[in-house]
Chain A
Amino acid sequence: MKVLVAVKRVIDYNVKVRVKPDNTGVDLSNVKMAMNPFCEIAVEEAVRLKEKGVATEIVAVTIGPKVSQEQLRTALALGADRAIQVETDEDVQSLDAAKMLKAVVDKEEPNLVIMGKQSIDTDNNQTGQMLAQLAGMPQGTFASEVEVEGEKVKVTREIDGGLMTVSLKLPAVVTTDLRLNEPRYASLPNIMKAKKKPLETVSPADLGIDVTPRLKTLKVEEPQPRQPGIKVESVEELVDKLKNEAKVI
């Protein structure tokens, strides 16, 4: 079966986020960028399915500016067979991203789409579900276990209060949660090999998608800082403060 994995280029999760002084957004100039951590888990899951003999081909796809090819090369180094970049410099919001991925799904006809549950920049948690709806597929969101069984996939999902297992008809969309797997690092020989793997570039127009942002960001601000606290010397003092000063116990 064919697996499509969607990946996104985002700010590296170790980088301290700075809001631009003019409050128009977050400063991303000269900042280290990387593959979204949940997308790494998605790539890893696809590679494991291939290693188990379940998947036969892995296609990685991303949407973004030319430099986001770096993240596709990472996916290729980790084990994807080929890659597709939807190249655009525009602000692609979740619904448009889902429409572009739907166009790629129509062309590639994967049996399974795996993607991250959310990206750590916009924190939306939308695109996988939107793609599933547009493509008429079921969805296994926040997955901690994925098991392909013939024409179905069994997905264990992280839900409020515990775990829930669902059985989905293929083709389906799975979005990854943290504990699905632990992604590997790309080895140097694989990074070299990845440079020769096929990478195709298309434009949103090629896919018949007109990018139309529906949400306008009016401003972006720093969060309100907390008032600085104090250090206490002992557990007795702590409990005294909680009872008599903060009055929370």
Chain B
Amino acid sequence: MSTLVIADHNKGELTGSTLSVIAAAKAIGGDIDVLVAGKDIGGVAEQAAKADGVNKVLTADNDAYGHDLAENLSLLIAEVGKGYSHLLASAGTVGKDTMPRVAAMLDVAQVSDIIGVQSEDTFVRPIYAGNAIATVQSSDSVKVITVRTTSFDPVAAEGGSASVESVDSAHDAGLSEFVSEELAESDRPDLAAADVVISGGRGMQNGENFKMLESVADVLGAAIGASRAAVDAGFVPNDMQVGQTGKIVAPNLYIAVGISGAIQHLAGMGDSKVIVAINKDEDAPIFQVADYGLVADLFEAVPQLEEELKKVV
């Protein structure tokens, strides 16, 4: 039994989510190799080699993999993945995009977004926006899996000393081309990996008012999120969306401001360690999951919160 983990990386850095996928691979058992694909990825491979529990790092450094195009990447993963019993990626947008193509190529099912490992063939995953938790068993010879990384504590980033080998493989399916990218430039922590998240909902009334949340986030070093209602209303871009159809977050502290708490939103933040809700509607469902609820007008409470936090942080 052996697992190939597909590394996530961003701007030449291995992302923390990969360390959580390695943790899921450890829970399955067997040898763990990591595949790093992209362009100019030497630094990422070095970081992956230091991660705890990694046996070998395989690198595929080629223009064809430079923009994570699923048509090319899936060909590489299917080729390099031969002989492994498990192929694991994080359930980020690259893993979600690519792994089903790999599964179809291998004529096997995919188990999406696992939150637990029961045995080498049995996994736990949320369905119906997390309103039900299914335990599923795969009968396929190769298990293609995406991992909800917030559900697995990352392995140590240092301490390992895996070998690094390059894979001489350039697959360009010739079906798709990268045109452009618009990435949000921010000094804030990544939403999916932040220790503290402060999110706004429809109660924020407009995008301009999110500046109030930014001020609080500056004090706490927090990432900023939003409910689907706030995204649908056009207050903020979709990459800030927390929920069933957006990002899944599980920070130590989640502060929901002007968010009613629709099930789609709770699906994305319900595993946070401590949840704070600020809402003027005392019957809002968000209070049912909040550890600390404050019934108040957010336009008064949020500036006060900023002042009080400055005193203690």
Contacts and interface: CB of A to CB of B under 8 A. Distances in A.
**Chain A bound to chain B:** yes
Interface of A: 11, 13, 16-17, 19, 26, 38, 93-95, 98, 117-118, 120-134, 136-139, 141-142, 144, 154, 157-169, 172, 177-179, 214-223, 226-232, 234-236, 238-239, 241-243, 246, 248-249
Interface string B286-313: 0111111111100001001100110111
B140 interface: yes
Interface stretch (B30-38, B51-59, B238-246): B238-246
A241 B290 CA distance: 13
Contacts of B98: 129
Given A162-B181, A178-B245, A229-B290, A249 B220 contact: yes
A217 B293 contact: no
A227 B108 CA distance: 39
Contact of B274 (A137, A219, A242): A242
Interface residues of B, number: 95
Given A94-B100, A94-B110, A235-B308, A223 B126 contact: yes
Interface stretch (B68-76, B81-89, B152-160): B68-76
Interface string B223-259: 0000010011000011101001101000011000000
Contacts of A234: 294
A168 B69 CA distance: 11
Contacts of B270: 223, 226
Is chain A's interface secondary structure helix, strand, loop, or mixed overall? mixed
B179 A154 contact: yes
4 smallest CB-CB distances across A and B, nearest first, come from A129-B100, A138-B175, A214-B109, A162-B183
B289 A122 contact: no
Contacts of B100: 94, 125-130, 133
A162 B67 CA distance: 14
18 contacts: A17-B128, A123-B128, A125-B112, A129-B97, A137-B175, A142-B96, A144-B238, A161-B183, A161-B239, A162-B184, A167-B177, A178-B245, A179-B232, A215-B109, A222-B132, A226-B270, A226-B291, A249-B309
A118 B243 CA distance: 13
A218 B293 contact: no
A75 B290 CA distance: 40
Contact of B181 (A136, A137, A164, A167): A164
A238 B276 contact: yes
A158 B127 contact: no
B253 A242 contact: yes
A158 B238 contact: yes
A158 B228 CA distance: 14
B308 A98 contact: no
Contacts of B192: 160
Interface of B: 10, 67, 69-71, 74, 92-94, 96-101, 103-105, 107-113, 122, 126-140, 173-184, 190, 192, 196, 220, 228, 231-232, 237-239, 241, 244-245, 247, 252-253, 263-264, 270, 273-276, 282, 287-296, 301, 304-305, 308-309, 311-313
Contact of A215 (B137, B263, B273): B137
Contact of A249 (B69, B101, B312): B312
Contacts of A118: 245
A130 B104 contact: yes
The binding surface of chain B is classed by DSSP as mixed
A141 B101 CA distance: 12
Interface centre among B126, B138, B291 (most CB of A within 10 A): B291
B181 A122 contact: no
A243 B312 contact: yes
Contact of B135 (A165, A166, A217, A229): A217
Contact of B239 (A120, A122, A162): A162
A216 B295 CA distance: 45
Nearest to A26: B132
A126 B112 contact: yes
Contacts of A121: 127-128
Contacts of B101: 129-130, 132-133, 139
A235 B238 contact: no
A144 B237 CA distance: 11
Contacts of A248: 196, 252-253, 273-274
Contacts of B104: 95, 98, 129-131, 133-134
Contacts of B180: 164-165
B216 to A, nearest CB: 11
Contact of A161 (B10, B67, B252, B311): B10
Contact of B179 (A128, A167, A169): A167
A13 B96 CA distance: 22
- Which of the listed residues B113, B130, B136 has the most CB atoms from chain A within 10 Å of its own CB? B136
Contact of B175 (A144, A157, A169): A169
Given A130-B100, A138-B173, A239-B312, A120 B128 contact: yes
Given A229-B292, A232-B294, A95 B176 contact: no
B139 A214 contact: yes
A234 B296 CA distance: 8
A232 B292 contact: yes
Contacts of A26: 127-128, 132
